[in-house]
Every structure is written in C-alpha cells, then in structure tokens.
C-alpha cells in the first residue's frame, strides 16, 4: 500500500532529517481534546496539527462544518511547522486514520506527493512500547510551495449534476443509519444526496483497526467502474478522505472529494434530500 506505512516503518525512519511526523488527533465536540492528548504524550518529533484551527477555515454560510483552508494559509501553517516541499510527512491520529487522512488529502491537493498515514494510530504505537515523549520539537520554518490540484475537488455544482444525471458515482462515507436518515446527531437535516451509494469509511479497516490490503479494497469497490468518475462525501469532508485513499489504493483514477459534503449540501435551500437505503426509497 503506497499511502499507508506501518508503525515499524516509521520507527525505523523517525529520525531521518526529511521526515516530519504530524499528530492529527482530534475529537468532534471536544475541540481541545486532541491538543491535550498531544501534550500528554506523542511520538518524538511530532508536530500537532488541529483539524479545526489548522486543517479547516472558519465556518461560514456555505462550505460545511470543516471548510477547506485557503491553500496559501495552509502552506504558511505547514511551513511554520517545519513541513517543506521536500519533506516526507507521516500523519497519525487515534481515530482510525480519519483526521490523518484529511491532512493527506490537503497535502496532495496543494501538490505535495510525499505524504503517508501511519497504520493503527497512536494507542497502538503506545501499546507496542514504542517511544513516546511530552517534549515538543523546535519547529524550524521551511519553504513550502503550493501547486493546487483542482481536479481533486468537486464543487456543489458538480454534485448537483451527478445527482441529477449520474455523471459521476456519489459515495456517501457516513454510517448506514445516517445515510438512511434514521439518525443525524450533528447536522440540521437527516438523509443523503439523491443517487448516492453508501460505503461506510470505517470499512476500509479490519477488526484490529488496520487498513485492509489492496485486494480487499478492490473487492470492496468491485461494483464500481475503475475509470468512471467518482465523487466522495461524508458529513463535513473529513471521514470521506479514508475512502478517497482506499479508492486510490484499489486502482481508481478519477476520484474527487466534495469537501463541504452533507453539511454544505443542506446549506442550500433547494437541494433535494433522500432517505432510506435504496433508490426506490428516495424522497426528492
């Protein structure tokens, strides 16, 4: 798997000068918990990047709950954290890779290829008795050049077109109950974008919380056309990112992220909402 590295891989390379480790732990509804967890112990040399302060821009009328950061602002933040254009970045969290995947996607979106996710997460690292510290690294600013990849991003117009005309497969990455509209703990409306199919993002992981191998991922997405257009979304554009990575690992070449996702979709009054588990149930 080209985007996922093992804990032992990182253990062997963590002190190499071009490696930057990024701690992306974050809990929705507890915005300080990730930073507190980092301060209580992290992988030596890791810098902390906050999902809402560093990896999102402020919430506004549209754009969802975690709007994409401005590329120049993000690049400035990365530079201050010592992440440069020649860095190899390894991201981790303790949320199944969800937040680390957001950093992976953002870096790829602004043109940085050398970014990886550490499999399993911080608790597994700690349980393996690998080194942990409370010391925060001295962050020496680095130079980061932005080269935005607009083809990675789907707009609300793209999604409206895909929903109306099947111009792309829409993948909803939330759990089945939220997709079906049976419950909605976060957003103002329940349901999904009409025409979307449900692939819960946590299904990219096995029972032990490890990323499944390429063959399993290919089987998971076997009903989809590898060359066809795919747009992935979730609640706010974060948990969709593991599915984007999994699709890339499985050989799909035309995958976009709808970054605003469900929370952006429902911010437009005229956008239709579907409920239920099949197209026959959808309420347009």
Q: Tell me if 48 sits within 8 A of 35, measured CB to CB.
A: yes
Range of the domain at 219: 153-281
pLDDT in tens, 23-59: 999 999 999 999 999 999 999 999 999 999 999 999 9
Same domain? For 140 and 187 the reply is: no
The active-site residue, picked from 229, 234, 238, 250, is 234
pLDDT in tens, 192-233: 999 999 999 999 999 999 999 999 999 999 999 999 999 999
State residue 282's pLDDT score.
Answer: 39
State residue 1's pLDDT score.
Answer: 86
State residue 18's pLDDT score.
Answer: 96
| Stated pTM of the model | 0.96
State residue 283's pLDDT score.
Answer: 38
24 catalytic, yes or no? no
Final residue of a structural domain among 148, 183, 212: 148
Same domain? For 120 and 157 the reply is: no
State residue 284's pLDDT score.
Answer: 31
State residue 278's pLDDT score.
Answer: 60
Same domain? For 26 and 100 the reply is: yes
Same domain? For 111 and 64 the reply is: yes
Parts of the chain with a pLDDT under 50: 279-284
């Amino acid at each position: 798997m080209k985007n996922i590295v093992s804990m032992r891989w990182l253990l062997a390379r963590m002190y190499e000068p071009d490696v930057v480790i990024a701690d992306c732990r974050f809990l929705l509804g507890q915005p300080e918990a990730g930073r507190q967890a980092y301060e209580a112990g992290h992988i030596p040399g890791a810098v902390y990047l906050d999902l809402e302060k560093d990896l999102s821009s402020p919430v506004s009328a549209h754009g969802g709950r975690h709007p994409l950061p401005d590329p120049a602002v993000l690049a400035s933040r990365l530079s201050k954290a010592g992440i440069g254009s020649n860095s190899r970045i390894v991201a981790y969290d303790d949320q199944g890779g969800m937040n680390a995947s957001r950093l992976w996607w953002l870096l790829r979106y602004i043109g940085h290829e050398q970014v990886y996710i550490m499999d399993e997460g911080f608790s597994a690292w700690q349980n393996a008795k690998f080194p942990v510290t409370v010391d925060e690294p001295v962050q020496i600013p680095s130079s980061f050049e932005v080269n935005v990849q607009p083809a990675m991003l789907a707009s609300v117009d793209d999604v409206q077109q895909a929903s109306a005309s099947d111009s792309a497969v829409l993948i909803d990455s939330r759990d089945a109950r939220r997709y079906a509209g049976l419950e909605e703990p976060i957003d103002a409306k329940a349901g999904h974008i009409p025409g979307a199919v449900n692939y819960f993002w946590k299904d990219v992981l096995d029972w032990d919380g490890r990323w499944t191998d390429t063959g399993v991922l290919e089987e998971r997405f076997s009903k989809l056309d590898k060359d066809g257009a795919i747009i992935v979304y979730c609640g706010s554009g974060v948990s969709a990112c593991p599915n984007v990575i999994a699709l890339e690992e499985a050989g799909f070449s035309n995958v976009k992220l709808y970054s605003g996702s469900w929370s952006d979709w429902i911010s437009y009054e005229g956008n239709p909402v579907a409920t239920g588990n099949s197209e026959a149930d959808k309420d347009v």
